[in-house]
Each structure stands twice: as structure tokens, then as C-alpha cells.
Chains A and B, each alone.
Chain A
Amino acid sequence: MPGFVLRRILKSVLVVLAIVVCNFLLIHAAPGDPATVMAGQSGAADPQYMEQLRRQFGLDQPLTTQLWIYLRGVLQLDLGYSHRQQAGVAGLIADRLPATLLLTGAAFLIAIAGGVTAGALAARRAGSWADSLITVIALAFYATPLFWVGLMLVLLFSVYLEWLPSFGMSDPGLALTGPALWWDVARHLVLPAVTLGLFYLAVYARLTRAAMLEVLDQDFVKTARAKGVPEGRVLRAHVLRNALLPVITFAGIQAGQLVGGSILVETVFAWPGIGRLAFEALLARDYQVLMGVFFVTSVVVVLFNLLTDVLYALIDPRVEVA
């Protein structure tokens, strides 16, 4: 087991490094640099100003030098400095990461809990109207654009019913602290987390249902039933446990996709997370921040994949960790 984990970690580090290099090249292949963006936004420029900015941003160096400097920094866990925002990239990301982790974590819980329950229910009553209903609803969520669901929820719960706030993570005007602040954040969290969660809930519901049906068909289940094990126990102990494997595999892959989805959700709900940070950095050509976000998300995804592998091994002892 330790050897396996070590090998996996080594591989992951290589993948992350490859991603860093690729992103660097991709981002620098784009026309325009942070200096032109800043000039464009301030309404005036002259050659001296442009040169000042480029020198300050280190853009006057050859590309390979810039890449080397960046890589050396990353290896020392130094993500660089955003000259545009006059702040360290690590700090900028650290400021935003908790918000995104909270959002995606909540969405993930909603999706897994809701999806597995709905899928298990549907599989247990396969063919019944409840199954059809769950399947249809899951399909419907799966087929609806994420941002669209967000807009509709805002219309319903913020505009018409006025139950929940429609944007932001808390109300800074109230200057809350302690439990009151947490309650405020929780209220702000509901709509974005549900929006992000619903789509994946649909995915997990479908996956769980399919996986359970497959397992239900297998001999060991038939044997257990034949031996008179109560149906509920069969489902919990034998079926669900095995059906969770594909769900977990998918969840590992999906960890990265949640970050992508959070760009949309963070835009709709003005959630101050790294999805929006990345999108704004992209539009403003804030290279260092963009590459930093990519680095961090890649690391998170790789960690998730590792975790999935370990979980996989724990749930299903038959899987060889080789």
C-alpha cells in the first residue's frame, strides 16, 4: 500500500508539473498582455508608460526565462506576485479558496446525499412510478443549463418570495460576527450550493440507480436473498456498498468539474471564490493569478483522485492496489 501511494503521488506531481508548463505556454500564446489591458482600462497610455508596466511585470524577459522563473517559484511553493493587483498570488487565492471550498463542498454533499438516496430509491422500486418520476426529474436537471437553474432560483426565491439573498457571501453592511455571521453565510450559501448541486445530484442519481440495478442482478445478491437475508439489509450491506464504486470513481473525476461549474455559479451569485478570480484574471490577462488558480485546482483534483483510489481500496478489498 505505501509503495502504491508513493508511486501515485510521484505520477501526480508529474501531471501537475506538465499542467503548469502547458498553462504557462497557452496563456502566453494569447494576444495581448497585462500591460495593454491596464492601458486599455485607464484610458490613456504612452510608450514610456507601457515600458514601465512591462518592466514591472517582468514581461521584458524572454519567455523561457519567465517560464524558468515561474517553475522555480512553483517548486518552492511560491506562486508569484500579481502586479496588477499588487498582491501575492498565494494570498489572493488563499483569500478566495475558502469560499469556493465551502460552495463546492456544500454542493458536493447535496449532490452525493441527494443523488445516492434518489438513485437507491429508484433502483429499489425499479419500474414503478416513483422510479420513473426520479428518473425523469434527474434527466431534467441533467439537461438544464446550470446558470439557467441559478437564474430561475433567484427569480423565485429572491425576487418573488424574498426569502433568500441573491448575491454575495454575507452582508458586510451588518458587520456580523460569530454565530450570526455563520447564519448569514449559510443563508447566502443556499441558492448557489443548490444550483451547483442539482446538476451533479442528477448525475449521481442516475449512476447510483444504474450501478444498483447491475449489482442486484448479480449472483451474490440472489444468494443472499435466497438465504433469507432481509431485503433492507441486502440493499444496504450488499448492493449499495458495491454500487458506490462507480459513484466514487465519478466523484473523483468530478471534483475538478465542480470548479468549472463554480465559475458559472460564482458569476450568477457574486460568490467571492476562485472561479470568478480565475475568470476575471483571464479577462484581464493577470497571468500569475490565472496560473496560480490552475495550479491549485489541479493539485486539489489530483488529491481527490488519490483519495478516491484509497477509498476504492477500502470499500472494495478485491481491488488490488498495484
Chain B
Amino acid sequence: MNLTRRNLLAGAGSAPLLLSAQEALSQGAQPKRGGVLNIILNPEPPILQIGVNNQTPTLICGTKITQGLLKFSPSLDPLPELAKSWTVSPDGLEYVFRLQENVKWHDGRPFTAEDVIYSVMTFNREIAPRLRGVLSGIGEAAAPDPHTVRFVLKQAFQPFLLCFDATALPIVAKHIYDGNDIRSNPANARPVGTGPFRFVEWQRGNFVRMERFDDYWKPGQPYLDGILWRVIPDGQSRRLAIQSGQVQMTTATDIEPFDIPALRQAPNLNVTTRGWEYFSPLFWFEVNHRVKPFDDKRVRQAMSMALDRNFIVNRLWFGLGKAATGPVASTTRFYEADAKLPPFDVSKARALLDEVGLRPNAQGIRGSFKYVIPPYGEIWNRMGEYFRQAMRQIGFDVTLESTDAGTWGSRVANWDYEATSNVLYQYGDPSLGVERSYVSSNIQKILFTNTAGYSNPKVDELFAKARVAATEADRRAAFSEVQKILVDDVPLLWVVEVNYPTVTDKRLHNAVQLGTGDHACYDDVFLS
């Protein structure tokens, strides 16, 4: 790297707003053809077709095969993918997408507007539970020509574009799925997409092999010859694999938080926590409002005050996160910085509980309840252990219950719990990822709804208003107000905005550029 090139890049620094200096440098480095990228795949997903399965590993792996119409920058601006341009009518009802030409499916058939309409109106409407509501708001879908798609909404819905990421609305081949049962389609085992890599082989418990798709629609791309996804179920083995160079990349929860500080020091590795802005996972402790005394907001306020969020971020997450300030993550649109939870204060929390009338007995116990530990890894256990000690400080005796995925899911879904924790993605906009946990119309016996049972008519009204408001200013006003109400009501005990680390070998370039990070299609990733 010589000085002139560096200066040149510094001058061009304003253009790639979404790139860090590090990646700008690698952008400057000439992309190189060839090489196979080894990535860790953990836990091994059951199937690789996005939409049919939406676990994080499926999404990270499947996005290399299946693409979306759009992709999103870290500041959540839409960027072209299968759609090369788009227009939105002033009333916010009509969306027209111009599609890329010369796009081929991995089986050689051409990609057309019909595939997009089928994917949106049939495939995803049938199997994407999160967006079913949004998609049924589409009044009309038409293809005026093979490379144009037009959607007309029944009602304005400002975050509509945000739904077109590959992880939310994957575009699948109509000729493969139409007329067949989606969930049992044999293609789910060998996904066919438009992406830069095509599926080759899956040795269960061992690896998934993808090869460069030679007919990919961007000429000369992708740069890599293939991607090898390696299944390594043990955390320490994963760390060893990235350290020793056996794999060049780890994602999401592959590496335990406590290993990150050491990996940051490793000369051959880069560690970044960017690339999760689109998802903005928010971790919270959840109490069941149907259980006394959790129906009293002062009790919830006291519990929230008993949590030392900085301690949690530093000690439990090893700095991989940010103390949450409210229901909306700071990386999500319409975050209201003025709506803040009261700070950590144990004596104030105790006083509040005294005021409620929950007086401690001789052993200093005001009450006891059970906490169900979600079965997703060590950090969840540590969070439960922290929660128990923190509640002990204000006089609650907490018993922890271990569960497996089946038990946890069914107990939370059936409201059969007193306290637990959860992480939910925010998908860039409160109407998409926040509203669902607080509005009373979404109190359902289903996971990831308002399982806590919180209900506040004012909150319902504000979320409804923000959902359909046509202008950004109106939405902002409603969201600001709702956030202020929520931080006072504390329906959930928000704790950490989680920043998952992506660890890459220094020879690997462009791995994290978008707001969806390692969920990108990787047509521009290369090894030097």
C-alpha cells in the first residue's frame, strides 16, 4: 500500500459512506478472482431455502443462493439488488420496481417479473408469518413488462421498501414452486436461486459446499470460486478454526463473547460488530404481566432499576453491545434519544417496592418467582444467573429453570412462565419489529407476539397511527410519544442492544458492508 493510493482514497472518502476506512482500503485493492471461502455454519440449519426456514444460519448461508429485490446500507437506505431502480408515488401507494436484465436462475431459466410477483404474492404470503400482514395490504400486483413490477397498496405503509431484503422477502423461482406444496418441495433440499453461488453438496453434520455460478448476472463476478460452510458444533473448536486460518470467517454467535477480546489482538484477524443495523437485535428480560406483582408498573420499574446495564455489557457481553435505553434500538429508525429509562439504582428500586407494599421478610425476601432460561447458548445462562443475583439484591428470590428449545418455545407461547428473556430483531422500523411486542391486538399464544400481555390503549393508538401515517414527520411524532410512554410503563426490561461480532481473516475483503452484514450475497467478496 503506497502513500499515493492512500491519499487518493482519503479524497474519495465521502462517497462510500457505508464503508469503513479498512474496507475502503480493501476496495482499493484490486478484487482478485479465485479461492474458496471457508465459513463456519453454526448451528447447522435444517434446510437452506430462506423463507421455508428463517433461522439465522439459514439466512446467512441461504442469502448467497437466494436474493432479494433490494439490499440495505448501515443507515438503512435501500440499494439495488435484483431491482436496479424503483419509484414510489407521492401518496405512498404505488411502488414500481425495474428489474435487472439477464438474470438467470441456477437451473438456467431466465428470471422475470412473474417470479417476483409469485414470490411476493404467493410464496412469502403463504409462509412468511412476520410479513403476512404487510403483504395482504397489497391490493394489486402487476407486471407491465417482463422486467417491471408494480405493487399498489391499499393503504400507505412507509416501511414497505424495508421488506424487500433477501432475508425478509426472498425471490424464488416460480417454475419450481408454483403448483407444488411449498414446504415439502424437493427443491428446498437443493435451493435454486439467482445468487452468485449455487448449491452443490451438503454432507450433514460436516459441510455445505457452494460453487461459483458462472452465469451470474454481474459480469466477472463473483470473485470467489466457491464457499465451503463448515459445521463445527463446539465453540472452542470454532475459535481454534478461525485462529488457525482453517476458516476465514465466523458470524453471529459462532464465537463466544469472552473469546472476542483475544481475537481482536490476533494479527491475522479483523473483528467487527457492524452489519447488524437492519436487524438491530434487542435483548430484554420479560415478565408475564398476568402474574402478580408484575402487573404493577412500579414493580417493573424497580426491577429495571436493579439491572446494571453497563456491568452486563462489559462483563457478560464483553463489550459486544450497548446498554439499551428503551424499546427501540439506537440503530433503528425513529429511535427517540430523549426517552430514557431511569438509571441503575438499587436503593431507589427497594424504596419503590416498599411503596408498593412488597415488604421484605426476615430473610430479606419480598417474593419469589421462576425464570425460564432460553436454550440458545452460554450467554443466555449467564444472563439468567446475573438476573437472579440482581433480583436478589432488591429482595426477589429467583429460581432458574433450564429448558430445551421445544419446552421454552411452548411455555412462552402458552404464557406459561413468570419471567424469561428474549432477543427480537427490529427490522429497521418500529412498525416492522417493535410494535409486535407491545400492541394489545397482538397478544397471542404464539412466540414473538406480545406474550407478556402488556396492554395500553394509548400505545395501541400511537402504533396504529405511525403504521399508516403517510409522512415521516407524523410517524416520528407518534413513535417519539410511544417510546416515552413505554419507558415509563416498562412492559419489558430492555437490557442490551446486541452487537454480534463478525470475525474475518485479513485476507478476506468486503465481508461486511451492508446493514445486513454477513447476510449479503457476497458477489463482491474476495480473498487476497
Contact = CB atoms under 8 A, between A and B. Distances in A.
Direct contact between A and B in the complex (CB less than 8 angstroms)?
Answer: yes
Interface of A: 30-34, 36-50, 52-53, 56, 82-87, 92, 95-96, 99, 154, 158-159, 166-169, 171-173, 267-270, 272-273, 276-277, 280, 282-285
Interface in B397-422: 404-411, 413
Contact of B205 (A37, A41, A272): A272
A172 B40 CA distance: 13
B38 A167 contact: no
B405 A44 contact: no
B6 interface: no
Interface string B35-46: 010100001101
B88 interface: no
B230 A172 contact: yes
Contacts of B207: 172
B383 interface: no
Most chain B beta carbons < 10 A, residue from A44, A46, A52, A96: A44
6 contacts: A33-B406, A40-B447, A45-B449, A48-B132, A56-B183, A172-B209
Interface residues of B, number: 52
B413 A166 contact: no
Given A45-B413, A83-B183, A168-B206, 13 more contacts: A32-B406, A39-B409, A43-B424, A43-B425, A44-B128, A45-B447, A46-B129, A48-B129, A92-B204, A172-B209, A270-B232, A270-B233, A270-B234
Q: Which 7 A-B pairs have the closest CB atoms?
A: A32-B406, A272-B205, A36-B409, A40-B409, A44-B130, A42-B54, A32-B410
B407 A32 contact: yes
A172 B54 contact: no
B246 A39 contact: no
Interface of B: 36, 38, 43-44, 46-47, 53-55, 127-130, 132, 183-184, 188-189, 203-207, 209, 228, 230-234, 236-237, 240-241, 246, 375, 404-411, 413, 424-425, 444, 446-449
A53 B232 CA distance: 28
Nearest to A56: B183
Given A31-B411, A39-B413, A44-B448, A172 B203 contact: yes
A39 B406 CA distance: 10
B406 A37 contact: yes
Contacts of A272: 203-206, 231
Nearest to A87: B189
Contacts of A273: 205
A36 B203 contact: no
Contacts of A41: 54-55, 405
A33 B232 contact: no
B53 A166 contact: no
B405 A40 contact: yes
A143 to B, nearest CB: 24
Given A43-B448, A272-B204, A285 B406 contact: yes
B448 A85 contact: no
B46 to A, nearest CB: 5
A321 to B, nearest CB: 41
Contacts of A167: 232, 234, 237, 240-241
A124 B43 CA distance: 51
A173 B36 contact: yes
Contacts of B406: 30-34, 36-37, 283-285
A86 B189 CA distance: 7
A96 B204 CA distance: 8
A200 to B, nearest CB: 23
Nearest to B233: A270
Given A49-B129, A96-B205, A159-B240, A37 B234 contact: no
A138 B410 CA distance: 46
A87 B204 CA distance: 11
Contacts of B446: 39, 45-47, 50
Contact of A172 (B206, B233, B448): B206
Contacts of A158: 240
Nearest to A272: B205
A283 B375 contact: yes
Given A31-B406, A86-B46, A267-B234, A47 B448 contact: no
Contact of B53 (A38, A50, A87, A95): A38
Contact of B204 (A30, A52, A85, A154): A85
A39 B447 contact: yes
B356 to A, nearest CB: 33
B448 A45 contact: yes
Contact of A86 (B184, B230, B240, B407): B184
A306 B424 CA distance: 53
A171 B54 CA distance: 28
A284 B405 contact: yes
A166 B237 CA distance: 7
A95 B203 contact: yes
B257 to A, nearest CB: 20
A31 B231 CA distance: 28
